[in-house]
Amino acid sequence: MSTKRSSSYTNAEDTHLCHIYLDVSQNPIIGIYQSKDMFWTRVKADYNNIPYFITELRNKRSLQCHMQTILTAMGKLRGCIRQIESLKPSGASEADIVSIC
């Protein structure tokens, strides 16, 4: 059985996915009382619903894998920032710290 591989996500699609992920997970009415499957069903529906910049419709598995990649990269960035902050660079702004990463 051969499966077609999806094209890469654009920066706009990455941003859209992050917004949808946060919206669905932080929904005060159903956010914490939904199963994993229902969560990703909602993410998929919202992701594929509106934007004109989406190059192709994505399935749940693609969205899950791509969000995991984003979350892993975010964790590494957070760790880098914490490491630099622990050095207590004198007079360094947040922008200076992020630019070092």
Reported as a single tens digit per residue, the pLDDT across 29-66 is: 776 778 889 999 999 999 998 777 777 889 999 999 99
In a domain, 93, yes or no: yes
Cα torsion 38, 43, 66, 83: sign: negative
User: Quick check: is 3 in a domain?
Assistant: no
Give a yes or no: residue 24 inside a domain. yes
**22: in domain:** yes
Closest among 17, 2, 22, 3 to 55, alpha carbons compared: 17
CB 81 within 8 A of CB 35: no
Total tally of structural domains belonging to the chain: 1
Domain extent at residue 63 = 11-100
In a domain, 1, yes or no: no
Give CA–CA dist 96/68, Å, rounded.
Answer: 28
Q: Considering the entire predicted model, what is its pTM?
A: 0.74
